[in-house]
Amino acid sequence: VGGSSIRLPGQTSGKRVWRLQPNGTPDASFTAPDLDNQVYALLPADGGGLLIGGNFSTLNGQPALGVARLSATGTPDPTFASPTFQQYGEVSGLVLQTGDRLVAASNFGTINGQAVRSVVRFTPNGAPDPTFQLDPAVTTSPIYERPLVVEPGTDRILLTEYDHVQRLQPNGALDASFDDGAGADNQNSSFSSGLTRSVYQPDGKLLISGDFTRYNGVARTGLVRLTATGAVDPTFAPPVDSSYFVQDIQLLPNGSIAALYNDYNTQQLRWLDASGAPLAGFNGAAPLVGVLHILGLPDGTVLAGGAYTLGGILYQGTYKLTSTGTIDPSFGLDPSLRQSAITFTRQPDGKLLFRDGLTQGHRVRRLLPTGAVDAAFSPTEFGGGYIGDSEGPMVVQSTGKLVVGGGFNTVNGVLRPSLVRLLDIPTGLAADAPAARAFDVFPNPAHAALTLRRATAEGATATLVDVLGRPVRQWPLAAAAQQTVSLTGVPAGAYVVRIQGATGILTQRVVVE
C-alpha cells in the first residue's frame, strides 16, 4: 500500500508504505519506513522485496530521491544503493524488462553525480545501468503523462508524449525503423494535442487514440493506426468528426475496434471494423450515445456501461453487447448492479473485478464470467473522497495482488488514501493440475516452436501470456487435435498458453529458453 499518509488505528501519524495481510489487516512482519513525501509507484522485487517510486527525498533519514528498494520486512535493502539526483526526482513511470530490469522515467537531472536524461534503467543494486543509454536523438518531456510501455514480445519501449510516440531498442537507442513524423496536432484547438491510449495489434501495428485532427499531416480525427515503422496506415480510415476526441479503445480478437468518443458533454460508442469503418450491423452504423465505460472480451463482445437506448429500450448499467447491436443474454449482471455504470478489470481467468458505487465511496467486488457475483470473493470497501466515486485504475498482478487507486480515503474503515494493494486475488495464470489438463504443450521448455495437442478438435484462439498478464503472441487454431506454432522473437521466460474456444478457456504453463 503506498500513498501520502497511511495511518493505522491508534496512531497519531501515518506512513507512506504499509503491507497488508490477505484479509486487509496490517502485516506485523513489515516495518513501515520513514519517507518524507508521497509514494506513487510500487513494483514487487525478487525475494519478496518492493521497489518504490515517488517524490520522496529521504528514506529513514538517508538520501533516497525518488527510487528505493525495501526488503521483505520493510527495511531499506542494503544491496540497493538508492540513486541521488541533482533535482526533484518525481518518478512518473516504472516498467520491467526481462531479467527483472527496472526502467524508470523522471526529471532526474543527475544520478549519483552522473548526468542522465528522463528515462533510466537500473541494475539490481540500484545503480544506473551503463548498458542502457537514452539516445540523444530522442526528444522527451521532463515527465511523461503515460511514460513507458513495453512492446509485447520484445523489450522495446514505447514512449508516449502529448503528441508523439517514439520507440526505443532494449538498450535505449532510438529505433530508427520507427518514426511517427510530425505526430498529432489539433487544428481546431489552441491547446496541445493529447494522446489517450496506445494499443498494439498482433501484427505489430499500433492503434493510437487522443484529441487530434491530424497525425503526421494526414487527416485523422482522434484515432489513427500506425504501421510497424510509425507511418500512418492508409488502409485504416476511422470516422471524421472533429467535435469529438477518442477517450478509449478496445481491440477485439477479430480485429474490430470498440472506440469511446467524447465531446466533453456526451460520450458514445462506435464499433469499427478493421479498416476503421463503422460496423453496419451495430446500431445501424450509428454511434451508441450514453456509453461511459467499455471493456473488450476475448469472445468478441464488449461490456458497455452507461445509459443508452437499443431497439427502443433504455438500458441503464452494464450489459454485454454483440457486434450486431444486441444484448448477449449469457452475461446476466445482478439486478442490484444494473443501475450503475461500472468500470471492470478482467482477470486472465475471465473473472471480472469491478467497483460498485456506494453513497460515499465504493467497494471492489468480483463477478464470474457469467455476470453472477462471485460469492468466494470478499468485497473491499473504499470510503471518503468523492461521493459515489467508482473511478480510478485497478491492476491485477500475477503474484495475486490487486492494486487499486482512486479518490478514496479509507479501506475497510482504516485510513488508506488514494492507493492500496490487496493480497491473494487469484489471477488465473496458474495452470490446471496435471490430472485435469485438457491439452498438452511440448516441448517444455520450448525454443523455436511449440506444439499444442488438444483433446477436442475445434477452431480456437491460442494466446501466449507473460507473467504480468500481457499477451505476447496470438495464434488462430484450426479444427485439428494438434498444431505447431512459432516462438520466433519470443524472449526467454515463463509464460502461460491460454486457449479460448467454444468450450471455454484452458491454460497451461510453458517455459521458453
Tell me phi and psi for residue 323, to 5 degrees.
-70, -10
- Each residue of 36-86: pLDDT tens digit? 888 877 877 766 788 888 777 777 877 676 778 888 887 877 777 666 555
The pLDDT tens digits of the residues spanning 455-490 come to 777 788 888 887 555 678 889 888 877 899 999 989
CA 61 to chain centre: 34
Which amino acid is residue 511, in one-letter code? V
Cβ count near 235 (within 10 Å): 10
Q: Are 92 and 487 in contact (CB under 8 A)?
A: no
Q: Which of 185-194, 196-205, 404-413, 493-502 has the lowest mean pLDDT?
A: 404-413
Between CA 84 and CA 365 the distance in angstroms is: 41
| Residue 114: burial class (beta carbons within 10 Å; 0-12, 13-18, 19+) | middle
**Whole-number Å distance between alpha carbons of 386 and 363:** 13
- Domains delineated in the chain: 434-512 (2.60.40.3080)
Diameter of the chain by CA atoms?
67
For residue 416, count other CB atoms closer than 10 A to its CB. Answer: 28
CA angle 220, 222, 223 (to 5 degrees): 70
Q: Which residue bears the cell 518524507?
A: 36
Q: What is the pTM of this model?
A: 0.58
Which residue bears the cell 444486441? Answer: 326
pLDDT digits (tens, 9 = 90+) for 197-230: 888 888 889 999 999 999 999 999 999 999 989 9
Sign of CA dihedral 460, 466, 470, 471: negative
